[in-house]
């Protein structure tokens, strides 16, 4: 799918993905469905869930355990990729050789939890026609690398390094699941804290430490992601879509959508359909 020296982008891999004969320098893997676990136990900081991306090295690859229903994308970077990236994306100052140190992937996998930019890159490839996949894969790769370059790796690693108790981590993962499963409803901090038996202040701090965003900001992004998927995939009216994500006011929905996605719902639908044509 990707015609760049030293880089392989494989789509729709499953649990039986074979370790490549040639050793990659580092690897990016996006989970579309299912989960990946590795040594350390069945804890949130030791597994990757749907919609998250993993950064890791070749030594880690053989130790990953993908679930039976796993489906994902994997991007393998070999030594030649360093110069290829510099030449192909000249002007963006991307040094992928520094990623190993930045994400400390020699020690254990690094989870990229909440990055709309990355999730969107992978999601749109399911709808791109084969004739355009080469062009879009180059653009998508550039978006991913820029996002990783500008990422605050220390903040993202809080959950992974267990700087808060695992009971708290498990509770805020439960809160995230609850929010995503009830995308059409709005809950106050007090309601969530009471439901998951956490003091409100502690819940807000732990949630932001684990997912990098305040509860309300994260919930709004999830609603807009859900709305964006509908704008791409169905012909429902914008006001109807707004209702499915908890907005009865079209103006408020449009404002929230533009804040998250950078354009109005109408502009988003038009742009996506032009790209997919």
For the chain, the structural domain boundaries read 7-156, 164-277
pLDDT-based confidence at residue 258 (cuts at 50, 70, 90): very high
List the one residue out of 157, 143, 265 whose CA is nearest residue 210. 157
What is the rounded CA–CA span in Å between residue 55 and residue 161?
Answer: 15
Q: What is the mean pLDDT of residues 8-24?
A: 87
pLDDT reported for residue 154: 62
* Fold equal for 7-156 and 164-277: no
pLDDT reported for residue 39: 63
Q: What is the mean pLDDT of residues 136-163?
A: 74
How far the first Cα of the chain sits from its last, in Å, is 19
Tokens of 82: 């360093």
pLDDT-based confidence at residue 162 (cuts at 50, 70, 90): very low
7-156 maps to CATH 2.30.30: no
pLDDT reported for residue 164: 62
More confident residue, 70 or 58: 70
CATH of 164-277, one of 1.20.1260.10, 1.10.10.10, 1.10.10.60, 3.50.30.60: 1.10.10.60
One-letter-per-residue 3-state SS of the chain: CCCCCCEEEEEEECCCCCCCCCCCCEEEEEEEECEEECCCCCCHHHEEECCCEEEECHHHHCCCEECCCCEEEEEEECCCHHHHHHHHCCCCCCCHHHHHHHCCCCCCCEEECCCHHHHHHHHHCCCCCHHHHHHHHHHHHHHHHHHHHHCCHHHHCCCCCCCCCHHHHHHHHHHHHHHHHCCCCCCCHHHHHHHCCCCHHHHHHHHHHHHCCCHHHHHHHHHHHHHHHHHHHCCCCHHHHHHHCCCCCHHHHHHHHHHHHCCCHHHHHHHHHHHHC
Tokens of 148: 């990783």
Tokens of 182: 């009830």
């Amino acid at each position: 799918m990707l015609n760049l020296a030293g880089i392989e982008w494989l789509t729709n891999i499953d649990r039986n993905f074979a370790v490549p004969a040639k050793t990659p320098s580092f690897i990016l893997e996006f989970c579309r469905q299912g989960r990946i676990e590795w040594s350390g136990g069945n804890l949130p900081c030791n597994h990757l869930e749907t919609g998250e991306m993993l950064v890791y090295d070749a030594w880690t690859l053989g130790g990953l355990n993908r679930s039976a229903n796993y489906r994902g994308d994997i991007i393998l970077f070999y030594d030649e990729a360093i110069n290829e990236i510099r030449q192909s994306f000249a002007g963006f100052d991307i040094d992928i050789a520094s990623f190993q140190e930045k994400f400390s992937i020699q020690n254990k996998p690094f989870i990229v939890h909440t990055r709309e930019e990355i999730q969107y890159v992978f999601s749109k490839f399911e709808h791109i026609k084969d004739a355009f996949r080469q062009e879009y894969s180059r653009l998508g790769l550039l978006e991913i690398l820029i996002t990783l370059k500008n990422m605050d790796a220390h903040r993202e690693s809080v959950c992974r390094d267990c700087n808060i108790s695992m009971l708290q981590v498990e509770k805020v993962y439960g809160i995230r699941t609850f929010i995503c499963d009830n995308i059409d409803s709005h809950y106050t901090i007090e309601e969530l804290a009471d439901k998951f038996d956490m003091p409100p202040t502690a819940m807000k701090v732990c949630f932001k430490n684990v997912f990098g965003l305040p509860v309300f900001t994260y919930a709004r992004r999830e609603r807009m992601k859900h709305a964006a998927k509908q704008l791409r995939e169905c012909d429902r009216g914008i006001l109807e879509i707004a209702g499915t994500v908890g907005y009865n006011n079209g103006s408020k929905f449009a404002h929230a959508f533009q804040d998250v996605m950078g354009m109005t719902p109408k502009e988003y639908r038009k742009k996506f359909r032009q790209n997919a044509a």
